[in-house]
């Protein structure tokens, strides 16, 4: 089928509400490397407001605390991932790469038709 591409997406939900998809994965990883939500938002080129809202939604449905935040102090504050969040990210990454491999293997040639 000329010009038609197969795309896919995998994500985690908790009682029907989105918990972690690839966009939010990017945000969490940026928080991890930057050490603050503010810097993470800048890194991703999105507004702090938006990044904050995304994190809020995630935490609202997460079965455990995703981050530890601090306000004020030297450097103004910080946001760090919890250990459980790092594990969740690792699990999600495995899931995603696994899915992509499967799709490549199984459907790539079928897609040439």
Partner DNA sequence: ATATCGTTATGCAAATTTCGCATAACGATA
Partner DNA sequence: TATCGTTATGCGAAATTTGCATAACGATAT
Name the site residues for DNA (rule: CB under 7 A): 36-39, 46-50, 52-53, 69-79
Q: How far is the CB of 108 from a copy of itself (least distance, A)?
A: 12
Q: How far is CA 78 from CA 17, 45, 72, 113, in A?
A: 27, 19, 8, 51
Nearer to DNA, 80 or 91 (CB): 80
Cα(79)–Cα(77) distance, integer angstroms: 7
Angle at 95 between CA 102 and CA 30, to 5 degrees: 125
Nearer to DNA, 53 or 108 (CB): 53
Q: How far is the CB of 92 from DNA (least distance, A)?
A: 21
Nearer to DNA, 49 or 83 (CB): 49
Local structure of 63: helix, strand or coil: coil
Give the footprint of a copy of itself on this chain (CB under 8 A). 1-15, 19, 63, 88, 91, 94-95, 98-99, 102-103, 106-107, 110, 113
Tokens standing for 32? 């991890």
């Amino acid at each position: 089928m000329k010009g038609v591409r197969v795309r896919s997406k995998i994500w985690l939900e908790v009682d029907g509400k989105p918990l972690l998809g690839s966009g939010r994965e990017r945000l969490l990883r940026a928080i991890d490397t930057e050490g603050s939500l503010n810097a993470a938002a800048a890194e991703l080129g999105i507004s702090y407001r938006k990044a904050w809202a995304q994190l809020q939604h995630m935490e609202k449905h997460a079965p455990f605390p995703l981050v530890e935040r601090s306000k004020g102090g030297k450097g103004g504050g910080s946001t760090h991932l919890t250990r459980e969040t790092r594990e969740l990210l690792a699990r999600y990454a495995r899931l995603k790469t696994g899915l992509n491999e499967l799709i490549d293997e199984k459907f790539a040639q079928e897609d040439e038709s």
